[in-house]
Amino acid sequence: MDTNFLVQTLSSIVAAATPVVLASIGETISEKSGVINLSLDGSIALSAMAGFAVAFTTGSVTLGILAAMAVGALIALIIATASITLRQEQVAVGFVLTMLCADLADFLGNPFVRKPGPSVPHLPISYLSDIPVLGPILFDHNLVVYLSMLSVAAAWWWIYRTQPGLKLQGVGERPESAFARGVDVSRLRYFYTVVGGALVGLAGASYSLSIKLGWSHRHTFGIGWIALAIVIFGGWSPWRVAAGCYLFGLLKALGSILQRNPAFAGVPTQVFSSAPFALMIFALLLVSSEGFDRLLALLPIRLARRIDRTIRGRSPGGLGKPFVQE
Amino acid sequence: MGSISRLKSILLNLAPVVLALLFTTVILVAVGASPWEAYRNILSGALESPQKIADVVAASVLLTLCGVGMSITFTAGQWNVGVEGQIVLGAIFATWVARNVLWPQVPVLTLMIIAGMLGGALWGTLAGLLKVYGKVHEIFGGLGLNYVAQGLAIWLIFNPWKPADGATMSGTDPFPDPAWMPRLGNLRVAPLAVILALIATGVVYFLLRGTRWGLELKAMGKNFRSAFLLGVPSTPRLLTAFASCGALAGLAGAIRCSARYGRMLPDISGGQGYLSLLVALLAGYRPQWVPLIALFFAAVGVGSPRLELNMQLDSSLGGVLRASVVLAVMLVGGWRALLARQRARRTAESPLSDAEVA
């Protein structure tokens, strides 16, 4: 295989992973604070539609992106209000919102279907993009793609290296203790859910304004569920979540190469489009099942422990549970 | 006093519907359409002729079967999102019977129903197994299996079940006559399907209310760990809950391909599984309410394509309306509980406040 082709493929994987990276980092932040935003699949669709519609109408990509982020944040705010203040089941509210947003996106997006529109301009970073191999793979994209990479590093730094990040972890892990130490649990949960939602909105914008331009019916096909699964797969840690996203992108690219192989000519494309979801089940099986423990037990203990630590993470202790301060 | 408080409670119970209608009205005004015209179109599209009413009833059968099934898994505290795929598997199994068993109508239909239930139960059990032994959350297991089922259906239609003049998204060749579920005259509704849905509702109601199995599921749903510690055999109960829900969804799938289309389609369930989850949520997991809510949802679903026909609007407004009713029920319910909590706190804080509140 020649290098040029390989570099091109890797570069397109990095670009294509943008929405998944942004959405799953947003979800990681929100779940780290203890709130599951299950609405991802609908949120991404609605914000992708809103982003494109605003950019199309105003001619401004920036306004489009901001609108998409606002939509994502607003949906997250509904989830936060319903689950924190009104004490409804997070998963239930999230699921209803998934369906509501998907239908709303179809309804409101109807006039914009298959219209050509503006997109985020290509912006190679000077000097960096000239580095052989790495340059074209990492630094020859647009601003949203860079933002997705930046969001990984920023989320990691904020969560694990700053004082407010420590509070964020506390609120998600042991809300009672955080509360006893004077942290306003509910307010922080509101805040991080909305911040995560804004990132999910940005993921939507990256879809319609950068990766798969424009808007159409089922435009963001199932990507939100994949992002939710990758957060679990990545053990709620930004780096591993990002690794999961790029791994997913790599497998998807391999899949489409396979699909072009004449041996699979008889297989309809729809079968291939369901493959990522089969992969999702296997990936979750790998990180969650006890069968995997038994496999690990066959290895020398030190190696087993290291593998276990690298590929598996623990969910935040207070994830999905309401916090009642009484 | 009594009649005023009753009126108040009726108004409060209607509040979510009003809120949801308000929301869709705002949306309609925002896109420059007449809300009145839109609602009139949906209503007349659902009820204007016996044929339309038959369509509503037929659509509600599927939602009822799945919604009732999901009352079982919800009672056990499980999110069986995999219903969509369980419908597809039921349809696949029933289609296999329809294509391969060339018997008279009664045995063929019986076999199709049994096969459909078997297929759905199999797919449901798979989600349950993933949950119990793989520790994969049932939302992800179920969703993944939905897409896999969808892929399987498409592969079958494009390969072994390909029609003679080439495979398309419009599905297999029509079934042989005996495999069509008899309809009521020329109306598109099969009385047998309605009867089966009502029986299923009654049976599930009885199973959840009047049997030890139902009680144990309820205990698991309330507190899984304590139920386990108190000796509820949680693994078999969980698997039977998934299997029964799957069987009902599979039955719905068999009915869908036998009574409605008379063939297998790639998109045989068309999102009805997800929709029935909303039905079950709105019914508060009580099976007795499912058929009524299913009728309402089905009417909106049958009526909304009119928006496309007459007003050039997307029919997904119907979906927006249905989902916002469910969301509004949750928000209003939560808000009323919040007010009650605050009132209770005030009462606890000052002994005089009783008189003040009154």
The predicted pLDDT at position B11 comes to 81
| Residue bearing the bigger pLDDT, A65 or B356 | A65
Name which of B135, B266, B335 is nearest A86 (Cβ-Cβ): B335
Q: Residues B272-316: pLDDT tens digits?
A: 999 999 999 999 889 999 999 999 999 999 999 999 989 999 999
Quickly state the pLDDT bin for A1 (edges 50, 70, 90): low
Whether residue A99 and residue B319 make contact (CB cut-off 8 A), yes or no, is yes
Q: Closest Cα to residue A287, out of A245, A321, A324, A315? A: A315
Q: Residues B256-270: pLDDT tens digits?
A: 999 999 999 998 988
Give the amino acid at A307: I
What is the arithmetic mean of pLDDT over B319-334? 95
**How is residue B67 written in tokens?**
């919604």
For chain A, domain boundaries: 3-311
What DSSP letter does each residue of B64-78 carry, written as one string?
HHHHHHHHHHHHTT-
Q: Is the pLDDT of residue B173 over 70?
A: yes
- CB-CB contact of B345 with B320 (8 Å): no
Q: Chain B residues with CB inside 8 Å of A106's CB?
A: 314, 316, 319
What is the arithmetic mean of pLDDT over A138-159? 95
The predicted pLDDT at position B339 comes to 92
Could you tell me the domains of chain B? 56-316 (1.10.3470)
Residue A16 to residue A207: CA distance in whole angstroms: 9
Whether complex ipTM tops 0.85: yes
**How is residue B177 written in tokens?**
């006559």
Q: Residues B229-253: pLDDT tens digits?
A: 888 888 999 999 999 999 999 999 9
Quickly state the pLDDT bin for B9 (edges 50, 70, 90): confident
- CB-CB contact of B217 with B76 (8 Å): yes
Interface test with A, best of B320, B335, B345 (most A CBs within 10 A): B320
Look at A185-189, B62-66, B80-84, B283-287 and tell me which has the smallest mean pLDDT.
B283-287
Whether residue A82 and residue B143 make contact (CB cut-off 8 A), yes or no, is no
Whether residue A267 and residue B277 make contact (CB cut-off 8 A), yes or no, is no
Q: Is the pLDDT of residue B358 over 50?
A: no
Residue A63 to residue A205: CA distance in whole angstroms: 10
Name which of A100, A110, A232 is nearest B323 (Cβ-Cβ): A100
Q: Chain A residues with CB inside 8 Å of B319's CB?
A: 99-100, 102-103, 106-107
Q: Report in angstroms the alpha-carbon separations of B191 from B58, B93, B248, B255, B309.
A: 9, 22, 17, 11, 29
Residue A297 to residue A303: CA distance in whole angstroms: 10
Name which of A103, A228, A290 is nearest B323 (Cβ-Cβ): A103
Look at A9-13, A161-165, A295-299, B197-201 and tell me which has the smallest mean pLDDT.
A295-299
Quickly state the pLDDT bin for A77 (edges 50, 70, 90): very high
Q: Chain B residues with CB inside 8 Å of A285's CB?
A: 130, 134, 136
Question: Mean pLDDT of all residues in chain A?
Answer: 90
Hey, which of A47-61, A283-297, B176-190 has the most confident mean pLDDT? Answer: A47-61
Q: Report in angstroms the alpha-carbon separations of B231 from B136, B220, B227.
A: 24, 11, 7
Residue A122, strand partner residues: A142
Whether residue B135 and residue A87 make contact (CB cut-off 8 A), yes or no, is no
Whether residue A274 and residue B319 make contact (CB cut-off 8 A), yes or no, is no
For the purposes of burial, counting CB atoms within 10 Å of the CB of B314, is it exposed (0-12), middle (13-18) or buried (19 or more)?
buried
Q: Closest Cα to residue A105, out of A152, A166, A53, A57? A: A53
Residue B106 C-alpha, separation from nearest chain A C-alpha, in angstroms: 35
In chain A, pLDDT over 70 holds for what percent of residues?
98
Pick the CATH number of A3-311 from 3.10.310, 1.20.1440, 1.10.3470, 1.10.10: 1.10.3470
Q: Which residue of B has its CA nearest to A95?
A: B278
Outline where chain B has alpha helix (H): 2-30, 35-47, 50-75, 83-100, 105-134, 138-158, 191-210, 212-222, 224-229, 234-255, 272-282, 290-303, 305-311, 317-349, 353-357
| Residue bearing the bigger pLDDT, A194 or A317 | A194
Quickly state the pLDDT bin for A326 (edges 50, 70, 90): low
Q: Chain A residues with CB inside 8 Å of B130's CB?
A: 281, 285
Residue A198 to residue B210: CA distance in whole angstroms: 48
Residue A156 C-alpha, separation from nearest chain B C-alpha, in angstroms: 26
> Within chain B, what is the greatest distance between any pair of CA atoms?
83
- Name residues whose C-beta falls within 8 Å of residue B136's C-beta, 6 or more positions apart in sequence: A281, A284, A285, A288, A289, B130
Q: Chain B residues with CB inside 8 Å of A96's CB?
A: 278, 281, 323, 326-327, 330
First and final C-alpha spacing in chain B: 13
Q: Closest Cα to residue A233, out of A310, A134, A147? A: A310
Name which of B27, B145, B327 is nearest A96 (Cβ-Cβ): B327
Interface test with B, best of A77, A277, A282, A326 (most B CBs within 10 A): A277
Quickly state the pLDDT bin for B351 (edges 50, 70, 90): low
Look at A23-27, A219-223, B207-211, B250-254 and tell me which has the smallest mean pLDDT.
A219-223
- Name residues whose C-beta falls within 8 Å of residue B205's C-beta, 6 or more positions apart in sequence: B287, B288
Residue A234 to residue A56: CA distance in whole angstroms: 36
Q: Residues B130-159: pLDDT tens digits?
A: 999 888 999 999 999 999 999 999 999 988
